[in-house]
């Protein structure tokens, strides 16, 4: 590293504690998608205090915001994506290497999103100071992105025009390794709820007067079960019953099921239409009616190779943080308890391509952003290696010194990468050229129906059920 880069690494370290505390606070709030009022306020207030101009409640979501700071000519414009939503049912005590909920049944940060916007904030605040000192021109734009776990916010943010004029986007995600990928990642997805309506009746005395909505849900499930037998192996199709009646002796006049249909960009719409045919068939068979509500529809991710290579150089320059004996012991205990390979805090630094690893079945709403600006996600080490996403083992590590060290290491890589983009116009030109080719091949069109709106209130009741019990553990 040259002297500028070494100074930047020191500057990240000099302010890290404050950001660790923010991450711990957001971990303690563990707010579900579109209910992240405390988390978003903490972060937006923090960016404002750091001298950024903050626009709150963007793209029709009260917990979404954009924080912007410009210097000199204002070019290039670098975007940073950051999440802060939690997952249902994953409450867990921090630093405890066995399943032990903090508040039984409550949400938890099972995907380490508590560390993610925070890492971008540490990156941007450090960059701002450095750009002022060095007289570097550019704009830093941070996207406070709610509800990633229900794959909601980014397509609406794109639709609202928030990415217009952006030159390049740095995304991040907490993980149990240090990695960056390019080419094609994950699956496209449509998330939708089908609600069937029938007729209620006494199920013993007058069953012929009723039409069961629950029967329709069951038949739709049976239909899509047969559908997926005949889809290519790239698909993932899964569902949960949201409402299925409340007593066997009352014919349910209302029942609903929530689907995720996932596949390649080229396939997902066809599979979705087939699933809708299953809904129609189920309604015909049961003489019920039905309604479909689309909660979200997102693209696969197409991260930029030149940008990934630039980030990987900085991953190698920063390297793995050093870990203490206590941290190694915690990692081993957790890996033993959960049945993962017992490797302690040993993990790879990797650059991944579609050729080097098979396509994974998960999805992220960052996909839409990768089609409107050159984008890459840095995966940075805040978990115990081996922990799969959406699991209590992630929650257990996400408020420990392991996560803190990962935040600092992630921010260093992102700050160094942004510094490269601000100072090397040739590198940025190559990244933009590659993106122009992608955009010509895959012109962006949202998968959302034209009348789609963010599903505000989707988790209000569930969050309300646990907030009271969680408050006593809030970290200020």
In the complex, the residues that contact Zn ion under the rule CB under 5 A are 111
The minimum distance between CB 448 and Zn ion, in angstroms, equals 20
Q: Shortest distance, CB of residue 148 to Zn ion, whole angstroms?
A: 6
Compare residues 33 and 97 and give the one whose CB is closer to Zn ion. Answer: 33
Question: Rounded to the nearest 5 degrees, what angle is found at the Cα of 353, between the Cα atoms of 139 and 311?
Answer: 30
Nearer to Zn ion, 105 or 362 (CB): 362
Quote the tokens at residue 79: 């975007």
Query: Do residues 225 and 251 lie in contact, with contact meaning Cβ atoms separated by under 8 Å?
Result: no
CB of residue 456 vs Zn ion: minimum separation in angstroms?
21
Task: Provide, rounded to whole angstroms, the least separation between the CB of residue 437 and Zn ion.
Answer: 29
**Residue nearer to Zn ion on the CB measure, 111 or 463:** 111
Tokens of 323: 């870990």
Q: Tell me phi and psi for residue 91, to 5 degrees.
A: -50, 140
Nearer to Zn ion, 411 or 416 (CB): 411
Q: Least distance from C-beta 364 to Zn ion, angstroms? A: 7
In the complex, which residue's CB is closest to Zn ion?
111
Least distance from C-beta 388 to Zn ion, angstroms? 11
Give percent helix, percent strand, percent coil of the chain, each to the nearest 5: 45, 20, 35
Minimum Å gap between C-beta 378 and Zn ion is 13
The contacts of residue 135 (CB under 8 Å, 6+ apart) are 72
In whole angstroms, what is the distance from residue 109 CA to residue 120 CA?
A: 17
Closest alpha carbon to 81 in 143, 165, 163: 143
Q: Which of 349, 333, 335, 329 is nearest to 385 (CA)?
A: 335
C-alpha span between 13 and 412 (Å, rounded): 9
Measured distance CA(420)–CA(435) in Å, rounded: 18
Task: Tell me how far, at minimum, the Cβ of 201 lies from Zn ion, in Å.
Answer: 44
Closer to Zn ion by CB, 40 or 111: give it.
111
Structure tokens at 439: 């955009």
Is 131 or 402 the residue whose CB approaches Zn ion more closely?
A: 402
- Please state whether beta strands 254-263 and 188-197 pair in parallel, antiparallel, or not at all (unpaired): antiparallel
Which residue lies nearer to Zn ion by CB, 112 or 314? Answer: 112
The DSSP code sequence of 311-340 is: HHHHHHHH-PPP--HHHHHHHHHHHHHHT-
Helix runs in 93-251, H state only: 116-134, 153-159, 213-229
**Smaller CB distance to Zn ion: residue 143 or 323?**
143
In the complex, least distance from residue 165 CB atom to Zn ion, rounded to whole angstroms: 27
C-alpha to C-alpha distance for 275 and 189, rounded to whole angstroms: 13
> At 123, is the secondary structure helix, strand, or coil?
helix
Nearest to 462 by CA among 144, 242, 154: 242
| Least gap, CB of 366 to Zn ion (angstroms) | 10
Contact between 185 and 300 (Cβ < 8 Å): yes
Of 111 and 255, CB closest to Zn ion? 111
CB nearer to Zn ion: give 116 or 282: 116
Pick from 111, 64, 115, 65: nearest CA to 92? 111
Q: Rounded CA gap, 473 and 394, in Å?
A: 18
């Amino acid at each position: 590293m040259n002297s500028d880069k070494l100074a930047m690494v020191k500057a990240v370290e000099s302010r890290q504690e404050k950001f660790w505390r923010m991450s711990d606070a957001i971990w303690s709030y563990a707010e579900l998608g579109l209910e992240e009022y405390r988390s978003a306020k903490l972060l937006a207030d923090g960016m404002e205090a750091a001298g950024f101009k903050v626009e709150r409640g963007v793209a029709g979501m009260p917990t979404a915001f954009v924080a912007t700071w410009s210097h000199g000519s204002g070019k290039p414009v670098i975007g940073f994506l950051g999440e802060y939503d939690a997952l249902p049912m994953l409450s867990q005590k921090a630093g405890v290497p066995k399943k032990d909920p903090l508040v039984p049944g409550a949400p938890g940060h099972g995907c380490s999103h508590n560390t993610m916007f925070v890492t971008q904030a540490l990156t941007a605040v450090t960059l701002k100071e450095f750009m002022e000192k060095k007289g570097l021109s550019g704009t830093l734009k941070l996207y406070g992105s709610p509800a990633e776990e229900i794959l909601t916010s980014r397509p609406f943010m794109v639709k609202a025009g928030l990415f217009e004029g952006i030159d390049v986007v740095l995304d991040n995600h907490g993980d149990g390794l240090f990695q960056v990928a390019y080419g094609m990642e994950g699956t496209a997805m449509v998330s939708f709820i089908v609600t069937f309506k029938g007729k209620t009746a006494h199920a013993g005395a007058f069953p012929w007067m009723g039409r069961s909505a629950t029967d329709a849900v069951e038949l739709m499930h049976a239909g899509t079960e047969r559908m997926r037998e005949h889809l290519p192996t790239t698909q993932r199709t899964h569902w949960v019953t949201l409402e299925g009646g409340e007593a066997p002796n009352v014919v349910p006049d209302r029942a609903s099921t929530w689907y995720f249909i996932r596949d390649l960009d080229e396939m997902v719409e066809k599979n979705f239409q087939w699933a809708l045919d299953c809904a129609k068939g189920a309604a015909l068979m049961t003489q019920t009616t039905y309604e479909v509500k689309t909660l979200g529809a997102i693209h696969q991710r197409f991260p930029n190779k030149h940008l990934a290579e630039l980030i990987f150089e900085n991953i190698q320059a920063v390297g793995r943080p050093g870990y203490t004996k206590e941290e190694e012991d915690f990692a081993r205990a957790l890996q033993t308890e959960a049945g993962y390979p017992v490797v302690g805090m040993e993990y790879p630094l990797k650059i991944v391509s579609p050729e080097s690893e098979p396509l994974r079945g998960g999805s992220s709403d960052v996909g839409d952003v990768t089609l409107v600006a050159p984008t890459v996600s840095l995966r940075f080490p805040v978990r115990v290696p081996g922990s799969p996403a959406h699991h209590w083992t992630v929650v257990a590590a996400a408020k420990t010194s392991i996560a803190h060290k990962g935040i600092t290491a992630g921010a260093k890589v992102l700050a160094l990468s942004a510094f490269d983009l601000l100072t090397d116009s040739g590198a940025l030109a190559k990244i933009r050229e590659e993106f122009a080719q992608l955009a010509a091949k895959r012109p962006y069109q949202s998968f959302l129906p034209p009348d789609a709106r963010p599903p505000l209130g989707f988790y209000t009741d569930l969050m309300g059920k646990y907030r009271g019990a969680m408050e006593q553990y809030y970290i200020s």
